[in-house]
Chain A
Amino acid sequence: MDLKEKLVSSFLAFENQMDVEDYVHDIRSEAIKTFENEGFPSKKDEDWKYTSLNKILKQDYSVFPDDENAIEYRDVKKYFIHNIDSFKIVFIDGKYSSHLSQTTHEGMDICLLSAALAKPKYRLVIENYFNKIAASDGITSLNTAFSSEGAYIHIPKNKLVEKPIQIIHFSTGNESALMLQPRNLVVVDENSHVQIIERHQSLTSNAVLTNSVTEIFANKRAIIDCYKIQNDHQNASLIDNTFIHQKQESHASVHTFTFGGNLTRNNLNFYQHGERVDSTLKGITIIGDKQHVDHNTLVHHVEPNCESHQDYKGIFNDKSTGVFNGKVIVEKEAQKTNAFQANNNILVSDQSTINTKPQLEIFADDVKCSHGCTIGQLDSDALFYMKTRGIPEKEAKALLMYAFANNVLESVKIATLKTRINKLIANKIGVNIGFNL
């Protein structure tokens, strides 16, 4: 039985555990039908031309982990940004861990999707927002069909949430291969501000496939900053589907730091609805071995006077492969749009590959849109210059790569996170940073 059949046939058993009166019952039933029709994407799909899921779909994944697995904080502390006060929503093998979490209902809801789906007091928010912007393609529908657990964040208006929210999904490796389908819903009302750090982390080298869907709603003048840390084991694969809906004058940013994992696919979609919306998409990818990372972004400009800023940097070593596919759509009404896109890559080894494809569809005539992509090697003049100052080749290369990637961090607003990512970059590149970060 292949994975698709296994998932479809286990849907009934999954639904049996759920309340059929539930509002999302119909949504799930509809979604499994879509998945049954569409299945997993293949390289025949234009959007998946350079990324094949074949290999990772062959694993015999456990799709319903039943066990409650516990882990001790001290064993996983290093995966948290632990030196700041934060809210935490933590899952272990797909199950909520109250032990590791720190949630709240005081003036805002930072808690669990399962609770939000079950309790009447959340019903209105769920009806207004749940599955409203998630795509209806096969892979997203699969997640929707099995959506039951994840983070639920609702910030009412005029709130500055000072503590960042960390969402961490651990997998223990107690199953030989595990498939996870976390589902997050984030609603931020007028004038409110929230920061979210998200991470998927397996604790052993057993295979894990995570198909995650996150819907984020930024209402008027809301500010949302998301940081995705993707530094998982070499047998962990991640398909991250994020959908962001922005109303007028809202600012939303997503930084994606990809240093680990086997196959990582980021589907990052921004939908602007309202004037003077600002969207920021930034990424640093540093991979090696046979790792594969695919950034598929979409910014949809619908109304006038909006901006989007995209800046993705990639460093590829060994036989790693990268894909950047950045689509920007500017509708006819979206005059005075400023849309910038940059994708710069360094191929460190002869056997690494990057496919980069900017895709601009502009229907308005008074706009500023730019895109640029570069693929290069390290500058040999710069290397010679540094060597004449006594810096050996290896260190000079590392310093150049570090400098190349590092400037994406300028827009990271959480200082301790910035330091952490800086260290991760230094580690990954093998530079011993002998100076202040």
Chain B
Amino acid sequence: MLEIKNLHASVEDKAILKGINLSVKAGEVHAIMGPNGSGKSTLASVIAGKEDYEAIKGDILFNNENIEELEADERAHKGIFLSFQYPVEIPGVSVTNFMKTAINESRKAKGLEDMPANEMLKLIREKSELLEIDRKFLSRSLNQGFSGGEKKRNEIFQMAMLEPKLAILDETDSGLDIDALRIVANGVNKLKNKDNAVIVITHYQRLLDYIVPDFVHVLHNGKIVKSGTKELAHELEKKGYDWIKESVNL
């Protein structure tokens, strides 16, 4: 589904990603771990299509199509979703109206009519129940005044609404208490099936107890320096990132 080959990317002329190789197939869950500043969030943003990030070398293929020239919204229409580490507050646009606009714009891009209002309402009700989101919450301005946990739950709610093929969860566990973490992870697991894939970006192993990865990659200094299965995450938790840094230097 996602094929990243020798990807180099920079922000304001500063090289952040220095040759990433990653292959994600349908039905898989990949975890990308690594210390602060290793390039985890940059990788997420580059895949999602943030303009400030320049991919200077390498390829990003999504379902065998090179997507580097596509705008973020076009990538979204193809089925890529990014759950933000810091979701942006948008005053004056309610959660419901935002989702209606997002869904109908995606449908428009596919040549479909707007979703009928009753169908939309049903979908919103169904997905908000999945994330245990209060009805009142949906009429509030998007992310404005939301707690950390509410913001993250809202991200996964949006994911549930949009049903992406590839979901990238960027530090979704940060700022979550254990109950919120369970709700969010439960939501992700229920949405998971053999036709979609998830990339979980995280600093800690904690989230991976709930969203169990098929593969774990360790990112350090803009490169994937180690890949393995879920046991690698446990090892990291025990030994810390210094262990990786040392083993890389060796």
Contact = CB atoms under 8 A, between A and B. Distances in A.
A275 B50 CA distance: 55
A390 B100 contact: no
Interface centre among B49, B82, B89, B93 (most CB of A within 10 A): B93
Given A399-B93, A406-B92, A388 B76 contact: yes
B51 A384 contact: yes
Contacts of B174: none
Interface string B63-98: 000000001110111001110100111111100111
Contacts of B50: 384
A402 to B, nearest CB: 7
A118 interface: no
Contacts of B162: 389-390
Contacts of B97: 435-436
A332 interface: no
B102 interface: yes
B101 A395 contact: yes
A314 to B, nearest CB: 15
A246 B100 CA distance: 45
Contacts of A403: 90-93
Interface centre among A385, A399, A406 (most CB of B within 10 A): A385
B81 A388 contact: yes
Contact of A393 (B73, B84, B98): B73
Nearest to A384: B50
A386 to B, nearest CB: 7
B102 A391 contact: yes
A400 interface: yes
Given A384-B72, A395-B105, A434-B104, A389 B91 contact: no
A389 B102 contact: yes
B88 A387 contact: no
B92 to A, nearest CB: 3
B237 interface: no
A382 interface: yes
Interface in B101-135: 101-106, 109, 114
Contacts of A393: 71, 73
B88 A390 contact: no
A389 B90 contact: no
A402 B90 CA distance: 11
B172 interface: no
Nearest to B106: A390
A387 B76 contact: yes
Contact of A407 (B48, B71, B91): B91
Interface residues of B, number: 35
B158 interface: yes
Given A395-B101, A403-B91, A390 B114 contact: no
B104 A389 contact: no
Contact of B77 (A385, A390, A406, A434): A390
Contacts of B82: 388
Nearest to B114: A434
Contacts of B114: 434
Contact of A388 (B48, B91, B98): B48
Given A392-B105, A434-B101, A435-B101, A387 B72 contact: yes
A390 B81 CA distance: 9
A385 B90 contact: yes
A399 B100 CA distance: 12
A396 B101 CA distance: 9
A390 B76 contact: yes
Interface centre among B51, B80, B89, B90 (most CB of A within 10 A): B90
Nearest to B96: A435
B92 A389 contact: no
A66 interface: no
Interface centre among B51, B82, B102, B114 (most CB of A within 10 A): B102
Interface string B142-173: 00000000000000001000100000000000
B96 A387 contact: no
A388 B82 CA distance: 7
Contacts of A2: none
A406 B91 CA distance: 10
Contacts of B91: 403, 407
Nearest to B159: A389
A414 B84 CA distance: 39
Nearest to A435: B97
B76 A382 contact: no
Given A385-B87, A400-B93, 6 more contacts: A388-B80, A390-B77, A391-B101, A395-B105, A404-B92, A435-B101
Closest 3 CB pairs of A and B: A403-B92, A387-B72, A390-B76
Interface of A: 379, 381-382, 384-393, 395-396, 399-400, 402-404, 406-407, 434-436
24 contacts: A382-B89, A382-B90, A384-B88, A385-B84, A385-B88, A385-B90, A387-B49, A388-B72, A388-B73, A388-B84, A389-B73, A389-B76, A389-B102, A389-B158, A391-B101, A392-B71, A393-B73, A395-B101, A399-B101, A406-B92, A407-B91, A407-B92, A435-B97, A436-B97
